[in-house]
Amino acid sequence: MNIMNISSKRCFTVITILAVAVAAALTATPGKPPVEAQKKNSDEIQIVLDFVDAWNRKDVDGIMSYFSDDPIYHNIPVEPTVGREAVRASVAGLIGISETVHWEMINIAQSGNSVLTERVDSMLINGTMVDMPVMGTFDIKDGKITEFRDYFDMGMWNTQTKDLF
């Protein structure tokens, strides 16, 4: 075994690593996420992100614009709400009791036409902040939400809101 060959291989490896690091540093933009994080959201994920933004603005018309003609809105601990008018009444009721609404997106993922969210939904109700960890599923067809299911702990909701209504 020739010591010179081993040293040459190591030297080549170190130079290659340094060259890659320098190239990455020269092409990086400060404050800009890596290329993997810059990929465009799918249409379905963008619909859900825009829907959440409408909730954060307390925009009932905006929220309803994302639903299909015959949507289902199901807060899993209670009976589902079916149809545009019933869904609108449910949305307007929740928006109406909330001084502020903020849905914080923790994680979002997609499987086929379903978008899955992990969120913390916060609402200021009668001067008290109510924070609910939520897992949501959005089924989307032709650019509209056909079914929206939220999974949360009803006991936690009842504990936080027991003196608010």
Catalytic residue numbers, as ranges: 121, 150
The SS3 assignment for 22 reads helix
Q: How many CB atoms lie within 10 A of CB 41?
A: 14
Cβ atoms of 162 and 154 closer than 8 Å: no
Using DSSP bridges, classify how beta strands 144-151 and 67-75 pair: parallel, antiparallel or unpaired. parallel
DSSP readout, 32-87? PPPGGGGSPPPHHHHHHHHHHHHHHTT-HHHHHTTEEEEEEEEETTSPPEESHHHH
